[in-house]
Structure 1
């Protein structure tokens, strides 16, 4: 029978919703020799921790990346969404070691490592020849698990800095390792995985598997952000790997020719996907995102049966009087950062089967038949109209709080039910095509990111022209006939243009905070209703008090 250490028992007992709960009694009585009967059982064990990785990429990890940055906010809307001040704390960078998003992310990171090490322990003991499988296959399976451990540690390093390094389930109550030690461990895992992972082949249909290019991409990400993680710029090292990926050294990938090819219902066929998380309707993959973003009555807009909670939206591009914020701040205003004519900037419209346009809910809210959708709060019985502004317009008028729009404040506490543009990054069909709902896989790594990593590395290393060319290679697909009205040039490229390009291409993909930190902008720049703190400790989240209470060997990050 297996011996379970603190990391395994605590993590498995505290699995959050979205992960399949493991039965402790069953699991402790099963050994590799009795469980594995076929190759199918091997695959089931191998990919079990990948389901946790899928959950890990969303929900609270996503919220820590996006609601702390300049593209999204969850404003208080009348009687809704104050949530004890939680949303304001993260927007204003006033989080604490007791905040649940932070605890869930610390715990989720170690859960992923525990589950992956557990699977690796089982497979490592297994004689693959009994299943007519080769030693190379076993090495590749174990390499996938090494890369998955590295994935969790890479994210943990990004969120918290040094974490305890577990290499087996026999260890418990370990102290934190340093940032450098965790960086080195992650680097070691990825380098070893690259050696043993196969490159993706044209006939490779095993969706969700980590192939050679995915591990190489993670190593490029590690080096790309090394200056943030360990104070050592490694842009040359990141550039080399990114160029090799584009040059097909690690497998055959290509940019998708369509703007929505990597996000659409059939994105499992996109040549751009390097690593994705398979998805299907019955799994309710994106319910958390739907609940965060969409109005209670948006189900009529989608012709769907799901109710949203009407919380999140893009940060505003415009003041209550309609003037643009772009003259006030160099960051934020995400909707207006998209150029006119960008195919993504169009309102979301589902055309049937698997065809759709645009990725935003903006303007008058109507059903697919063109009927007006009304509100239920400030605009009860009145037409809903989603605006790129945050203000209590319903409080303007005779005998109301404000006599004119010019008096309206715009801040986190001043939202109403139609506040803010809503993102539809994952397309949603109508009920007639409900078999497509949540059918789009979740891209974890795609080739466009490698192009942008290479572009930024070239910029930082002095080659502005090459940087511009790489950004433009991705940008052009987002315009009719590939005609870009505002291409990046060697003359126009700078820190803020690069941050804009990351924002536009990867909006809502759970990475914005990391990009801002890499550019030393997370704590130094101003955006809508957010003043810079210049407090360097805020580039890391605190170790949760719950974690320290359970392991007295853990130390808190400086500044908390």
Structure 2
């Protein structure tokens, strides 16, 4: 196998992400398909290697670019912690530059994902599968999983950056960027070619990370769903047709899970709603990157676990320091209060044992499983921790202190404390007593609820408001005891903001918020907590990172940077 010069030429990979990507030229220059592939196990190892990169890619910097630039999450400065040179504020206020680490990591990670998929495909397509008691159909399924995976990375790259260098082999270097339209057409072509050659899910089959036909169809639907933002051409009708076909089970047998926790729990690989998931297992490929960022240093006592955390991220506040709601100040954000009081998900997270749990938030008094108070370690050292759906330096209020009364408290990115913000527990965490379950929940990369919501939005945009409401309510009803939804979607209340609220509620923390805001022309035109609109549409695209351009002077910067 020839050395992969394109990887160095495009990505300037003098160093790689530890634990996710290690393309070693010496290794690859010594191995050939004829000497390496001795069994079906070797084939599957090569096939699965790029999927380990996808596991990493779905979290960390990519998630941060989607959520911390939008209205639902923030990393406030908490006293001496988390200012980070102003990085978190730059993302929140939409003042990022081409020198940001998250942006470079996402550019590099995107093209690395494409390269890894093509590398595996190059090896597998040379093999005679009959040597391994496999069929030509097996081979085409494998090759088109890799094609689909490459399309997935490119689709995310299009979303973040617009046009990127298109390459279909691992030869060449310093390629220029293709246009947005060219990359759009490339993704479309790959997925259209892969769909008929991928297997369909059979009823009752568990999801183990394979890309099946419905996953490729959903990716194509995503491409069309956001086409107006990508290439200036609305394609909601095309998206609607694809989504309807999935709902009608033309591409495999899927169904909405009857329980809200089904797509997220320890056995979510068995959920009929999962279209594509990234497997996770304790001490293997763990879906755990978020834990350190989301939880307090002492939350190990709450979970009865032994893991440390750094207390960074939280939901943006729904309430002012004086406890009044931000209702009327802005329409977006306030994610915790967007959940109805009777929503089963709004209950405090509590692990019940034997793989069962309830709720998905940490709010209010922080307590151990036996009811004991958990104390703070910073502003509230040796005092009980009480998480607030607010941002403010409450510890500095009182006679002789910085702020005489709560009415004097500012609420900005600079004013957090260790107990600031509601914390999300979307991925369940067991106790140490049942630690074999830890990180047993797979990462649900695509689930049927998304298809329902895309179909609903397409129907709404094409005039079928009643049909749109029915689809959303089909998902909502499982979130309430007995299906008694106190505020169902109706023809009368389904507008832009209700749609954005529904996307926020159902997919909170799933790494898509920025894309939804852009599609609704709300990302740079709307206000949310401590964020004023810039009305600068060039911010719909992140800049090409300085490190990418310095390694490839054929790359052109995005307009506005």
Q: TM-score w.r.t. structure 1 length?
A: 0.99
Q: Which residue of 2 aligns with 1:341?
A: 342
Where does 1:195-206 land on structure 2 (aligned, <5 Å)? 195-202=196-203, 204-205=205-206
1:164/1:205 Cα in 2 relative to 1: closer, same or farther (>3 Å)? same
Structure 1 CA distance for aligned equivalents of residues 539 and 21 of structure 2: 33
CA RMSD of aligned residues (A): 1.2
Question: Counterpart in 1 of 2:64?
Answer: 63
Could you tell me how far apart the structure 1 residues matched to 2:288 and 2:236 are? Answer: 37
Aligned residue in 2 for 1:297 = 298
Contact 2:3 2:28 (C-alpha < 8 Å) held by counterparts = no
Instruction: Name the residue aligned to 2:243.
Output: 242
- Does the 8 Å contact 2:12/2:548 carry over to 1? no
**Where in structure 2 are the equivalents of 1:43-82 lying within 5 Å?**
43-82=44-83
**How far apart in 2 are the matches of 1:204 and 1:259?**
20
Q: Is 1:264–2:242 an aligned residue pair?
A: no
| Aligned mates of 1:284, 1:77 — CA distance in 2 | 32
Deviations 1:98-151 (A, max 9, x none): 000000000000100110000000001111111121111111111111100100
Partner of 1:190: 191
C-alpha change, 1:107 and 1:380, in structure 2 (3 Å) is same
Q: 1:20 Cα deviation (Å)?
A: 5.2
Give a deviation string over 1:387-419, Cα, whole Å, max 9, x none. 000000000011100110000000000000000
Q: Distance in 1 between matches of 2:423 and 2:12?
A: 34
- Mapped to 1, the partners of 2:243 and 2:177 lie a distance apart of 31
Q: How far apart in 1 are the matches of 2:44 and 2:204?
A: 18
Q: Partner of 2:100 in structure 1?
A: 99
Residue number in structure 2 paired with 1:176: 177
Structure 2 partner of 1:504? 505
Q: Deviations over 1:479-532 (max 9, x none)?
A: 001111100001110000000000000000000000000000000000000000
1:384-395 to structure 2, matched below 5 A, reads 384-395=385-396
Seen in structure 2, the aligned counterparts of structure 1 residues 334 and 206 have a Cα distance that, compared at 3 Å, is: closer
Q: Cα distance, 1:13 vs. partner?
A: 5.6
Instruction: Name the SS for the 1:275 alignment partner.
Output: strand
Q: Does 1:327 align with 2:367?
A: no
Distance in 2 (alpha carbons) for counterparts of 1:286 and 1:388: 27
Instruction: Report the CA distance between 1:27 and its aligned residue.
Output: 2.3
* Matching of residue 129 in structure 1 with residue 130 in structure 2: yes
Is residue 5 from structure 1 mapped to residue 5 from structure 2 by the alignment? yes
Is contact 1:290–1:308 with CA below 8 Å preserved after alignment? yes
**Distance (whole Å) between structure 2 residues aligned to residue 490 and residue 55 of structure 1:** 40
User: What does residue range 477-488 of structure 1 map to in structure 2 within 5 Å?
Assistant: 477-488=478-489
| Structure 2 residue 352 is matched with structure 1 residue 351 | yes
8 Å Cα contact 2:363-2:388 kept in structure 1: yes
Contact 1:268 1:441 in 2 (8 A): yes
Partner of 1:213: 214
Deviation string, structure 1 residues 19-60 (Cα, Å, up to 9, x no partner): 153443222200001100011111110110000011000000
TM-score by length of 2: 0.98
Contact 2:207 2:269 in 1 (8 A): no
Deviation (angstroms), 1:204: 4.5
> Residue in 2 aligned with 1:315?
316
Tell me what 1:281 maps to. 282
SS at match of 2:249: coil
Once the two structures are TM-superposed, the CA of residue 283 in structure 1 deviates from its matched residue by 3.0
Q: CA deviation at 1:201?
A: 1.9
Alpha-carbon distance, 1:287 to partner: 3.5
Aligned to 2:444, what secondary structure does the other structure show?
A: strand
Match of 1:360 in 2: 361
The answer as to whether partners of 1:314 and 1:420 remain within 8 angstroms in 2 is yes
Q: Distance in 1 between matches of 2:378 and 2:415?
A: 14
The whole-number CA distance in structure 2 between the counterparts of 1:42 and 1:461 is 46
Q: Distance between the aligned counterparts of 1:52 and 1:439, measured in 2?
A: 19
Offset of residue 326 of structure 1 = 1.9
Q: Matched residue of 1:443: which SS?
A: strand
Question: Where in structure 1 are there 5+ consecutive unaligned residues?
Answer: none
Structure 2 Cα separation of the partners of residues 506 and 389 of structure 1: 22
- Checking the alignment, whether the CA contact within 8 Å between 2:71 and 2:529 is kept in structure 1 is yes
2:492 is the alignment partner of 1:491: yes
Moved more, 65-74 or 12-21: 12-21
Structure 2: stretches of 5+ with no match in the other structure: none
> Is contact 1:8–1:114 with CA below 8 Å preserved after alignment?
no
Is the Cα–Cα contact under 8 Å of residues 365 and 372 in structure 1 kept in the other structure? yes
Give 1:18-167 correspondences, 5 Å limit: 18-19=19-20, 21-167=22-168
Distance in 2 (CA, whole Å) between partners of 1:284 and 1:297 is 25
Tell me, in whole angstroms, the C-alpha distance in 2 between the residues paired with 1:486 and 1:254.
Answer: 23
In structure 2, C-alpha distance between the alignment counterparts of 1:411 and 1:284, rounded to whole Å:
37
Q: Provide the C-alpha distance between the structure 2 equivalents of 1:302 and 1:20, rounded to a whole number of angstroms.
A: 31
Shift of 1:313: 0.2
